[in-house]
Amino acid sequence: MEYLDFELPIKELDEQLDKCIAVGKNSGVNVASTCKEIENKIQETKHSIYDHLTPWQKVQLSRHPNRPYSLDYCYALTDNTFIELHGDRSFADDKAMVGGLGKIDGTTFMIIGQQKGKNTKERQYRRFGMPNPEGYRKALRLMKVAEKFNIPILTLIDTPGAYPGLEAEERGQGEAIAQNILQMCTIKVPIICVVIGEGASGGALGIGVGNKVYMMENTWYSVISPESCSSILWRSWEYKAQAAENLKLTAEDSLKLGIIDDIIKEPLGGAHYNPEKAYEALKKQVLSAYTELEKMSPKEIVEHRQNKFINIGIFNG
């Protein structure tokens, strides 16, 4: 387990617990009561830290290297029935955007998400979860396939933004994202979107137009990252914590502002502490949403989705 700066008190206690267990094994001394005290202290420390996280600390948790990524959810939710589909049928297969078919409790879903890497080599291969235009075109192709065969769509959002490279702009990055937003407003099957990590800018919105939009507890959703906001406003990354506070990017802020429908609780400390529990919580929310949406006609589904986004941002003074 890797620890973030604000998690160091937990790291120290974990190390003490490991030493206590090792002493008991090596010496034959009964250290059960001492270990229990340390375990209780760990739980107390976790609650004192994780129950009072700042927006910037939540941003850090959303980027935790041990956190489950889209493919982890794809296989876990579908009990390994997930079959990945590739290519945009126009240019290439973008490895930063994954998608395919899988059964969630017997119901076939088209699952699409941004995929980061678990090590340096894979992160380069996946471009840190930043899709090129062909990634968004692949996602749209899969959504159209789902619509053709009346299959509900689940999107998993986890990106620091669409890829900003020259080649992405040459191939129409802005047009690809805009086309996705337009087409997702008219697709006639239920779309459920979940922010499982980072939800930054148009890169997230390119697969984020759904009938139901949820956020995992320790994630963020914003037009810009705290670091980029800080560099624009203060010409320095040093104010990223202040930027995170002012951007109102946490799940609680998004729910209060009406941007999302609900927050999916994570295990204490984040999804990486107990991935199985995180998978189960997300699965339960997705199935609950689908149970509600499957009762609607195709016309009602489209109207429901459009009205949801039309109403975002309305201010009654």
Dist. CA 168–CA 115, nearest whole Å? 17
Give 144-185 pLDDT, tens digit per residue. 999 999 999 999 999 999 999 999 999 999 999 999 999 999
pLDDT at 24: 85
**Contact predicate 71/86, CB 8 Å:** no
- pLDDT at residue 218 greater than cutoff 70: yes
Q: How confident is the model at residue 23 (pLDDT cuts 50, 70, 90)?
A: confident
Of 17-21, 70-74, 247-251, 313-317, the range with the lowest mean pLDDT is 313-317
Dist. CA 237–CA 230, nearest whole Å? 5
Q: Using H for helix, E for strand and C for coil, what is the string for 193-251? A: EEEEEEEEHHHHHCCCCCCEEEEECCCEEECCCHHHHHHHHCCCHHHHHHHHHHHCCEH
Tokens at residue 260, please?
A: 């999302």
Give 82-141 pLDDT, tens digit per residue. 999 999 999 999 999 999 999 999 999 999 999 999 999 999 999 999 999 999 999 999
- pLDDT at residue 17 greater than cutoff 90: yes
* Residue whose token pair is 């689908």: 290
Helix (H) or strand (E) holding 154: strand 153-159
Q: How confident is the model at residue 31 (pLDDT cuts 50, 70, 90)?
A: confident
Mean pLDDT of all residues in 304-309: 96
Q: Based on DSSP, count helices (H) and strands (E) in the chain, helices before strands.
A: 14, 8
Tokens at residue 56, please?
A: 């910037």
Nearest Cα neighbor of 61 from 250, 276, 260 is 250
- pLDDT at residue 317 greater than cutoff 80: no
Nearest Cα neighbor of 42 from 18, 23, 64 is 18
Give 55-82 pLDDT, tens digit per residue. 999 999 999 999 999 999 999 999 999 9
Dist. CA 110–CA 94, nearest whole Å? 17
Residues 6+ apart with CB under 8 A from 231: 237
Dist. CA 174–CA 128, nearest whole Å? 19
Query: Which conformational region is residue 248 in: left (phi greater than 0), alpha (psi within -120 to 50 degrees), or beta?
Result: left
Please, what is the average pLDDT of the chain? 95
Percent of the chain with pLDDT over 70: 99
Looking at residue 20, what DSSP letter applies? Answer: H
Tell me the Cα Rg of the chain: 21
pLDDT at 159: 97
Model-level pTM?
A: 0.94
